[in-house]
Structure 1
């Protein structure tokens, strides 16, 4: 027969009931606070929180039943203490997320309208700005990528446009380099790109290079495939000359920025730079989809707070995160860089009386980009795939328009 493990009068005196009740109350308060904070982020599917709540209740009941037993009671108290600590960390975790979202978002779309972002295609402008510290309203954009997203088919097209592309500058009736559109505000860049490709650009994300490095470092680096072996030119204050090999390279923030900015090492200059920029973005998206990123959550939130801004609202971002956590679906990501003729010098709107180097757009490559954009927006499956249903899909390698 098993020995009796119940309480004795001495044990009851040594561990007065009030201590157990205090732990129960503390655990309950912290658990409720953590659940409320996680709910406030609106990033977690409701069934996640329901499951977590049920588990917390089960642990609470277990502790209550075991509190009178010496050995099991000690284990239960230890488990309760650890759980309470975890709930306190959860509160901090959620508060960091809410604070960071408040700092970087400027959109005002809320409620059911915000949820449309997970059921309707949209176009997002990704702008990389060569500034330090906080982002300014008007600044030249060195990275200009349109992310065409269809959340139903789980298909994304990344369209990179060279900074020196000679385009119709929105609202002026004149032509200029694409990068100069940013001098008149991000809306000018969005409208200019929208005019080039015949679409409406819905939202934007702007980030400066210091913020980019911080985000990659917060991810513990990224793995990027390089088409060439080369050494990048250094940039004072950002990074030293950096060596890359043909094949896979693990990059920290400085190396990733060097890889994404280099153009002098390539015969095609800006064209290859655009391809490399999208390789970096794809590597970052891979990391963002990984559950392991949760361990770097607070560092990631701190990295984006001062150097990153988006016109997406908190509700829209939360809806996108909630969608991905709900199904962990794979996405098809296709990349295309438009091309043009190099070496031309001509008049630009923002530099009256001067002739500046520009890249004249190749009409065929622009038409190819327009076709890809419309294919994603209309819900067509990616080449070689059946009609999308949110199931597994492959990621396409970057390509250059012929």
Structure 2
């Protein structure tokens, strides 16, 4: 060999001398790496595949392989389980927000279907008070009912409109219990612009406007709103919540109301519930007994409306709200907040946290030119209305408000 060929011969038996620094050397490692267990053979990675090279190490010195490193060397990324848990949490949050939005939207949507009338009195009104007083009326108007509905609800086809129930709702401004005060529809009172008559005649002659004015003049209370529910809306609300649980106090067979109910606790559908609160001839207490059943029913429907089976089932909650909205008639000046106050008072009474009363009476068979009527116990009635007007907290039923006539 010649030195010009770029290869130097190494004499046998001598160690190789170091090469100059300016010369390039390629070293090939032909040794075989031993596998664990002491056997030789090709190198294996963690997967055990022969000849597969180990995963490249993290160039930033993190100790892990590059394939498991998060971008920019920030350490390991979230595991699949963590990502799944985060997705489930996010989905749950979205569902909660959607549910709350639905619960809020439905009442406002139902409020848009409420009927409105002008019930503002035309005469001089009593002064405004601190508390809130509303007139809650059940109307027997057949307006809007088909022939089939009239037959199913046993309403008959009488013309005109009357009230089946008149309830004064008092909501205190601060302290005390809310109260429902039934005003018997046969109460004999002065009607503005007309002579004294049964209070139900005010509604027949002048509708909500005259009825509200009559109640204001008879009680001395300034009414803050008017809420009315008709036959069809009444039955629709009951059916929307799947019936209402009522304990019938005695057997009631009343063809005029379309019912034949046995004594005992039971679930009433819309037509039977309507007949139960309308019945007069099957109740020995007449109008007074009916007023008591009406207040009993209002508490029962409120309890059913607030059960999880109504509130947590979207379709039932929606149907109940829409049935209530479509069945209501309110004064043009009555707001959604006013209706909410009435419902809150109803809820309190259903839970035993409110008072269920009757205007103090002296006679339920008072003879008049309009027939047998109900006469108020004037001194006690005035005392009750003064307490309401002054917003005196009510913790117990005032004297004479149990529906029993003081005059026998």
1:208 to 211, 223, 230: 230
1:174 to 189, 192, 195: 195
Equivalent residue number for residue 280 of structure 1: 297
Alignment of 1:248-397 (within 5 A): 248-287=265-304, 294-295=311-312, 296-311=316-331, 312-317=334-339, 331-336=353-358, 339=361, 340-342=363-365, 344=367, 346=369, 356=370, 358-364=371-377, 366-382=378-394
Separation in 1 of the partners of 2:346 and 2:180? 19
CA distance 1:8–1:89, change in 2 (3 Å): farther
Q: Contact between 1:181 and 1:188, CA under 8 Å: does it hold in 2? A: yes
Equivalent residue number for residue 33 of structure 2: none
1:103 aligns to what SS in structure 2? coil
Greater fraction helix? 1
Separation in 2 of the partners of 1:124 and 1:271? 21
The CA deviation string for residues 19-75 of structure 1, in whole angstroms up to 9 with x for no partner, is xxxxxxxxxxxxxxxxxxxxxxxxxxxxxxxxxxxxxxxxxxxxxxx9942123223
Task: Report how many residues are paired.
Answer: 302
Q: What 5-or-longer segments of structure 2 have no aligned partner?
A: 1-63, 71-75, 119-128, 146-159
The CA deviation string for residues 205-246 of structure 1, in whole angstroms up to 9 with x for no partner, is 0110221122233344433344433223354xxxx423141x
Q: With the length of structure 1 as denominator, give the TM-score of the two structures.
A: 0.62
Q: What 5-or-longer segments of structure 1 have no aligned partner?
A: 1-5, 13-65, 109-118, 347-355, 386-396
Deviation at 1:127, TM superposition (A): 0.9
Deviation at 1:332, TM superposition (A): 2.3
Q: Does 1:81 align with 2:105?
A: no
Alignment of 1:55-94 (within 5 A): 68-94=78-104
**Larger RCO: Structure 1 or Structure 2 (Cα < 8 Å, ≥ 6 residues apart)?**
1
Deviation at 1:189, TM superposition (A): 0.5
Larger radius of gyration: 2
Separation in 2 of the partners of 1:196 and 1:169? 9
Deviation at 1:286, TM superposition (A): 4.2
Q: Contact between 2:302 and 2:346, CA under 8 Å: does it hold in 1? A: no
2:255 aligns to what SS in structure 1? coil
Separation in 1 of the partners of 2:81 and 2:143? 56
Q: With the length of structure 2 as denominator, give the TM-score of the two structures.
A: 0.61
Greater fraction strand? 1
2:284 aligns to what SS in structure 1? coil
Separation in 2 of the partners of 1:126 and 1:252? 22
Q: Contact between 1:337 and 1:400, CA under 8 Å: does it hold in 2? A: no
Equivalent residue number for residue 390 of structure 1: none
CA distance 1:305–1:384, change in 2 (3 Å): closer
